[in-house]
Amino acid sequence: MLGVTGSGKTYTVSKVIERYQKPTLVLAHTKPWPLSCTPSSGSSSRQRRRVLRQLLRLYQPEAYLPRSDTYIEKDSSRNDEIDKLRHAATKALFERRDVIIVASVSCIYGLGAPVDYGATILRLRVGGQYRRDAVLRHLVDLQYQRNDQALSRARFRVRGDTLELIPAAEDRLVRVGFFGDEVERISELDPLTGELLAERKDLNVYPATHYVTPADKLMAAVKAIGEEMEDRVGRAGSPGTRARGGAAPPRTTFDSR
């Protein structure tokens, strides 16, 4: 759509979204644009508007220089606030229909299969029967880290029969109270003051990373990667390729752990 400022481009798009009542993806041509346009997107304040932007603030891809036989390792730096927004966008798509996702073009990369992502969700409800140890193992499988001292996003702690965590897509602390194997209470609290904000009847805990994979697929992939690594290292043993061949085992084993 082309037009001068104030010609009604955003209004037209919002009315189309309102008419079809389907989750909508708005792609931006630049990375700063999604955050700047989000407040004006959509015709209803009740709709859930989310931002899905590039996760990395710095990315240096790996490289190999044949002339000097030098291998340069990849390096990256994450933006935690953008990571939270990405998880909030994914959660909204799983739980609601009235969702507008405003994203940069880079959103098409690396989000994995929705079926695999949805199959790993931890679902708890008040009155349900769950083994506490199984719940903790499930959280670890979702890439949540245990920290009994200080809580932050995508971390949890355990105090007696009480489980506390901060979901990957939120800033609020969620407290789950167990009585034996039964979930007795689920509540939301302010992580700084401890003030009770809301009571919940259920809780869906989404993975702390978009790259989570079911165990059966993961083990099959790790095995295939190991076999391919051995084949590649054998081929890279010729003179002039030692750095490239020597870099493969540590990089591959690190990524597949």
CA–CA gap between residue 74 and residue 85 (Å, rounded): 25
Burial of residue 167 (number of CB atoms within 10 Å: 0-12, 13-18, 19+): buried
* pLDDT, average across residues 212-230: 83
- What pLDDT is stored for residue 34 in this prediction? 55
- What pLDDT is stored for residue 109 in this prediction? 67
- What pLDDT is stored for residue 88 in this prediction? 87
Q: Give tens-digit pLDDT for 9-61.
A: 878 888 888 888 888 888 777 655 555 555 444 433 344 555 444 444 445 66
- What pLDDT is stored for residue 140 in this prediction? 94
Q: Tell whether the model's pLDDT for residue 154 goes beyond 80.
A: yes
Task: Give φ, ψ of 172 to 5 degrees.
Answer: -85, 150
CA–CA gap between residue 253 and residue 242 (Å, rounded): 18
- What pLDDT is stored for residue 249 in this prediction? 63
Q: Tell whether the model's pLDDT for residue 8 goes beyond 70.
A: yes
Higher pLDDT, 238 or 19: 19
* pLDDT, average across residues 157-167: 94
- What pLDDT is stored for residue 24 in this prediction? 85
Helix axes 242-256, 215-235, angle to 10 degrees: 170
- What pLDDT is stored for residue 255 in this prediction? 59
Query: For the ranges 72-76, 143-147, 185-189, which has the lowest average pLDDT?
Result: 72-76
Burial of residue 16 (number of CB atoms within 10 Å: 0-12, 13-18, 19+): exposed
CA distances from 50 to 13, 99, 154, 229 (A): 16, 7, 19, 40
Higher pLDDT, 172 or 237: 172
Task: Give φ, ψ of 97 to 5 degrees.
Answer: -105, -30
The helix (run of H) or strand (run of E) holding residue 135 is helix 132-141
- What pLDDT is stored for residue 143 in this prediction? 92
Rounded to the nearest angstrom, the gap between the alpha carbon of residue 257 and the centroid of all alpha carbons in its chain is 19
- What pLDDT is stored for residue 100 in this prediction? 82
- What pLDDT is stored for residue 54 in this prediction? 47
Query: For the ranges 25-34, 133-142, 149-158, which has the lowest average pLDDT?
Result: 25-34
> Residues 204-242, buried b or exposed e (16+ Cβ, 10 A)?
ebbbbbbebbeeeeeeeebeeeeeebeeebeebeeeeee
Concatenated DSSP letters of 185-199: EEEEE-TTT--EEEE
**pTM of the prediction?**
0.70
Range with the largest mean pLDDT of 36-50, 60-74, 141-155? 141-155
Q: Which two tokens stand for residue 30?
A: 């630049």
Task: Give φ, ψ of 13 to 5 degrees.
Answer: -65, -45
The helix (run of H) or strand (run of E) holding residue 65 is strand 63-65
